[in-house]
Structure 1
Amino acid sequence: MLSLKLPQLLQVHQVPRVFWEDGIMSGYRHPTSSALDCVLSSFQMTNETVNIWTHFLPTWFPELESPGLSKVLRTAAFAYPFLFDNLPLFYRLGLCWGRGRDCGQEALSTSHGYHLLCALLTGFLFTSHLPERLAPGHFDYIGHSHQLFHICAVLGTHFQLEAVLADMGSRRAWLAAQEPALGLVGTLVTLGLVVAGNLLIIAAFTASLLRAPGSCPLLHGGPPEGGTRAKHQ
């Protein structure tokens, strides 16, 4: 019978410095894992398991050469759609407060408030690396900032959709008067374009991974000079 062996997990001092995460001391996957190891690790408790199961997005190999730039790009990937999606809300609030009057629930519903709170928590957790910075090694598998960041992002999306539905319900008559409903054909065409766009993005990033060199010095490098063990302070 075919038996599969789960990949070995590494301590922080056993992986190159570029892969170190503040406060995460164990549960690292091997940086040169095979494709089979990557698939198997999805069903193994590592410090990335929760992240993997909360989203399936292709990565981009500049992460290795310019980790700082990668951090900026990943942050912008969340900040840009947040600002774009909320422009109508900010415009509405600006009209209300700019005229010195309170629009109340019409401008900012409870769901809008929860959504903005989750968005702030998402950004804070993504950049602060808390709580693992306060207790290195204690949140390697469950409870570190990247997991909490994903949870807040999912909750924020939920409340954002609830707010959109509430806005549509309260403005249904106005929306119907402005423009007729999209209809089944229009809905299917829009859905098809979105799916096609996502598939093109996945194909482009997958192609870039296939064109990447087979080896990278950063993947095979050891710990930085001056010590072979990570400090636990």
Structure 2
Amino acid sequence: MLSLKLPRLLSINQVPKVFREQGILFGYRHPRSSATDCIFSAFQMTNETVNIWTHFLPSWYFLWKLFVLLCSWDVWNDPYTWPFLTYMVTCCSYPLASSLAHTFSTMSSQARHICYFFDYGSLSLYSLGSAIAYSAYIFPDEWIGSTFHHCYVFTAVLNAVLSTSLSCYSRFTEAERPRYTKAIRTLAFAYPYMFDSLPLFYRLYLCAIRGCADSVLSIHYRHTVFAFLTCFIFATHLPERLIPGLFDYIGHSHQLFHICGITGTHFQMEALLTDMTDRRDQLLASSPIPSFSQTVGPTVASFTISLLIIAAFSMTLYSMPKFSRREKKHAD
């Protein structure tokens, strides 16, 4: 009978510093795993297994939702749906990119950095997709057609570029200055979210002071709660920092971060879909129909710029031999 020998797992002291996670003591894969080993590790209990699946499976869920909408809407003749479909594409891409990054990040130290470069770029693209959908469906009546509304998506593109740049840069300071790195990386993703959510926060504020019976806002509240919970878990490394070693395989912060993030995205999607449907006549009467250049255009531009940023950081990475020396020192 054919038997499969799974790769040997290592402790935190057996891997280079760049591979170590705070509070995670065991379950590390070899830092020079082959691509085959990385794929097999998705079916082996390591400290990354749940990370892989908590984003791989949701990416197919969002892809299924996108497919259903494409089959049920007349997308070619209804430009009003384009912002939402653009947003849905980014919902599919960011968990898939994250899952692939977690899968193949132990092929080498350079591969780890590059995998997460793409992960960060996809998250930045998702923030832009959210902004495009928010611009089309979420804006409060008082802000529709305002100067802020006209500049909103363009600013979101700049934020996505800034987010990709800062988060990729943070990979270079991770080993020597972990707290600084965490602060930079948290800022890189928290700031675009806060900017994107300004129209939503204003709607929630108006509802709180005036009183309203808009049922969709309860879904927006759920998304907001999970978004802040996602940021809190990412920044604090709870619960594994309290009891190192207990949550190595199941229950550590990155897994909870994934689950909260995906749950928040689900509520965001449902809220956007509700606003898109319920406010259609009102929005079409008060603002022009979104054009191709206002939906797909910014996404393609941001995607292209992000690829250039990732290429630049990757070339810089390979021009710094200290990463290779660290890997060889710890991997044997």
Name whichever structure is richer in helix by fraction: 2
Cα 1:51/1:213, change in 2 over 3 Å: farther
The equivalent position to 2:180 in structure 1, one of 54, 69, 73, is 69
Q: What is the identity, as a one-letter code, of the residue corresponding to 1:78?
A: F
Structure 1 gap segments, 5+ residues each: 223-233
**Which residue in 1 is equivalent to 2:40?**
43
TM alignment of 1:1-233, pairs within 5 A: 7-15=7-15, 19-31=19-31, 33=32, 36=34, 40-44=37-41, 45=44, 46-52=46-52, 54=55, 55=98, 56=101, 57-58=116-117, 60-97=171-208, 100-105=209-214, 109-184=217-292, 187-215=295-323
Letter in 2 for 1:21: E
Q: Specify the code of the residue in structure 2 equivalent to 1:136.
A: P
TM-fit CA distance, 1:192: 2.7
User: Structure 2 counterpart of 1:23, which letter?
Assistant: G
Distance 2:246 2:301 in 1: 44
Q: Mark the CA change 1:189 to 1:12 in structure 2 (over 3 Å): closer, same or farther.
A: closer
Normalized against structure 2, the TM-score is what? 0.54
Q: Aligned pair in 2 of structure 1 residues 179, 196: CA closer, same or farther (>3 Å)?
A: same
CA RMSD of aligned residues (A): 3.1
Q: Give the Cα separation in 1 of the matches to 2:50 and 2:239.
A: 16
Q: Looking at both structures, which has the greater relative contact order when contacts are Cα pairs under 8 Å and sequence separation is at least 6?
A: 1
Cα deviation for residue 210 of structure 1 reads 2.1
Alignment CA distance shift 1:170-1:181 (3 Å): same
Map Cα deviations across residues 154-181 of structure 1 (whole Å, 9 max, x no partner): 1112211222222222221222123332
Distance in 2 (CA, whole Å) between partners of 1:115 and 1:105 is 16
Aligned to 1:230: none
Describe the superposition over 1:15-49 as per-residue Cα deviations: whole angstroms up to 9, x where unpaired.
45665434322012345x26x36x63353143234
Give the aligned residue type for 2:211: D
**CA distance in structure 1 between the partners assigned to 2:200 and 2:295 by the alignment:** 24
Q: Provide the secondary structure at the position in 2 that maps to 1:27.
A: strand
Show the counterpart of 1:227.
Answer: none
Report the CA distance shift for 1:184/1:51 in structure 2 as closer, same or farther (over 3 A). same
Change (3 A) 1:204 1:51: farther
TM-superposed deviation, 1:187: 4.3
Q: Please list the CA deviations of residues 128-167 of structure 1 after superposition, one character each: whole Å capped at 9, or x if unmatched.
A: 3333345433321222111110111111122112222222
Deviation per CA, 1:170-219, whole angstroms, max 9, x where unpaired? 22122212333234565443443243233223323322322222446765
Q: Which amino acid aligns with 2:202?
A: Y
Q: 2:204 touches 2:217 (CA, 8 Å); kept in 1? A: no
Q: State the secondary structure of the residue aligned to 2:187.
A: helix
Distance 1:195 1:215, change over 3 A: closer
Asked if structure 2 preserves the Cα contact closer than 8 Å seen for 1:122 and 1:153, the reply is: yes
CA offsets 1:90-120 (integer angstroms, 9 cap, x no match)? 12233344xx4212426x6222121112112
Q: Which has the larger radius of gyration?
A: 1
Q: 1:12 to 1:204 in 2, by over 3 A?
A: same
Normalised by the length of structure 1, the TM-score is 0.74
Query: Which residue number in structure 1 is paired with residue 81 of structure 2?
Result: none
